[in-house]
Amino acid sequence: MAPDAPRRPYDASRRQEAARRNRAAVLAACRELLFAEGYRAATVRAVAERAGVSPETVYKSFGGKSGLVKALWDTTLAGDDEPVAMAERPQLRAVWEARDPAVKLRRYAGFVRGVHERLAPLFGLLVQAGPEVAEVLALSERERLTGVTAFVGHLADAGVLPPGGDPARLADACWALTGPQLFTQLTAGRGWSADAYQEWLAGLLAAALLGAP
C-alpha cells in the first residue's frame, strides 16, 4: 500500500472571513432597523432576516439583542470593527506623544469630539428606548470612565497635574465634561458647531486638569 499522504493543515481563513462578513452585515442591519423603525422593531429575528443570516448566528456572535446593541455602540464609537484598543488608535497615540500639555488637551478634545459626532445619533435613539438599554448605556459610561481615568493617569505620569490634585476627582471632572449628554445639549440643543464645542472643551479641560486660567 502507498504511504498515506501528509495531511494539509486546516485553513480557517475562509471561515473567519465569512464570520467577519456576517458580523458586518448584522451590525449594518441592526443600525438600519434601529433608525428606520425604532428599538423595539430591531428584534434579533428582524435583524437576522435583513442581514441574510439565521437568528442562531446572531445569538452565537452577540449573545442576544443587548449584546448586539453594545457591539453596535462600540463599533460606532471606534469608527470601525477592527480589534484595536482605543488607546492604540492614531488619535489617542497622538495625545500620548504630545509633549506640550496644552497640545495634549486640544488633541484629546478633538478625539472626544470625533467620538461624539459618530455616537450622537445612536445615543439620542437609545436614551429614548427605555430601561431595556439602560445597562448598555451604563456599561458604556463605566468604560468611558475607565478611559478618562487612564488619560488623567497619563497626565499625572507626565507631571503636568497641579500639585496636590486628586487624580480620582480630576478624572470625575473630566468624565463629566466629556459626556455625550453635554455634547448633544450644546450642539443639537443650543446649535453649537463641533468646532466651537471642541474649543470650549479644550479650554475647560485645561482649567479643570491643569489649573490654567
Q: Give the pLDDT confidence of 152-208 residue by residue, as tens digits.
A: 999 999 999 988 889 999 999 999 999 999 999 999 999 999 999 999 999 999 999
pLDDT over 80 at 1, yes or no: no
Give the pLDDT score at 158: 92
Q: Is the dihedral of CA 179, 182, 187, 188 positive or negative?
A: positive
Query: pLDDT-based confidence at 213, cuts 50/70/90?
Result: low
Q: In degrees, to the nearest 5, what angle opens at C-alpha 187 toward C-alphas 184 and 192? A: 155
- Looking at residue 72, its amino acid is L
* Lowest-pLDDT choice from 6-10, 20-24, 58-62, 108-112: 6-10
Give the pLDDT score at 131: 86
In which region does residue 118 sit, left (phi positive, over 0), alpha (psi from -120 to 50) or beta (all else)? alpha
